[in-house]
Amino acid sequence: MDVIILNIFCFYCRIKQMRKCVDVLGNQALVERGKYKYGIEEGIVVLGINRAHAKNAISKNLIKMLSKAVDALKSDKKVRTIIVRSEVPGVFCAGADLKERVKMHSSEVGPFVSKIRAVVNDIANLPVPTIAAIDGLALGGGLELALACDVRVAASCAKMGLVETKLAIIPGAGGTQRLPRAIGMSLAKELIFSARVLDGQEAKAIGLISHVLEQNKEGDAAYRKALDLAREFLPQGPVAMRVAKLAINQGMEVDLVTGLAIEEACYAQTIPTKDRLEGLLAFKEKRPPRYKGE
């Protein structure tokens, strides 16, 4: 059974509670599991992929479930940061499900890849910070999924690469566009042309990931680092985080003058907020601010 798991950490409940919602899709299921606990984890959502029998390979049903999970997060104002991880040891996502792909008629392939691209784009366009925790294999579409996240962290033993040219195709879920934006055109071309696979240290050296960690015995070093980063993001103003992401994303696609105009427009969105006034008051009163995203 393929499963997408949403672990939602919230601040306001003093006791642990469990909420489950199962939506059956054929022989598969979308599981939303909310973990409520009192503590500093308010607003962190962990989106976990669990398709162990296929190394989290991207299938039709997995895309349906991932799309539904992402749609549920788009408009949730309580969400502050999203971590994308694997629930399968040693694997982030092995890319396309080739066993399923080989059974597709050629007329089906293009539309299906378009669906994958759309879901990956939806992840890239989520309004809050996203972190990819790569504790294992991330190939093809798996790396494209990680590239759609704002921050990437990986274990040193993780393997990453856009390997599609080995199959006489090209990356189809944004890899040809996001990889050069992340590491530069020349190196991105080299990696795609060669279908080279990098380990965590090599990925860090070229700027593909922000942090590389020695893997621990639990196999979740990258996930733990992602949690640390998410906790570091949490105290900041929610509105500011959203418009900062918007300013950076849109500004990177235009010239500097236009980018500065985008920054000005985004800054203007923070001026009338209650959070901005709360930040000034908290500074005056020498206490931590209590932001509400308003």
Active site residue 164: yes
Active site residue 175: no
Lookup: tokens for 5: 């798991």
Return the bridge partners of 154, or none: 134, 212
User: In whole angstroms, what is the distance from residue 198 CA to residue 179 CA?
Assistant: 13
Given a contact cutoff of 8 angstroms between Cβ atoms, the answer to whether 273 and 294 are in contact is yes
Active site residue 294: no
Exactly one of 140, 141, 142, 200 is catalytic; name it: 141
Active site residue 141: yes
Cα 265 to chain centroid, rounded: 26
Lookup: tokens for 12: 């306001």
Exactly one of 96, 203, 222, 230 is catalytic; name it: 96
Lookup: tokens for 154: 């990986």
Burial of residue 256 (number of CB atoms within 10 Å: 0-12, 13-18, 19+): exposed
User: In whole angstroms, what is the distance from residue 84 CA to residue 105 CA?
Assistant: 31
Lookup: tokens for 194: 């060669």
Exactly one of 41, 42, 87, 144 is catalytic; name it: 144
Active site residues: 96, 141, 144, 164
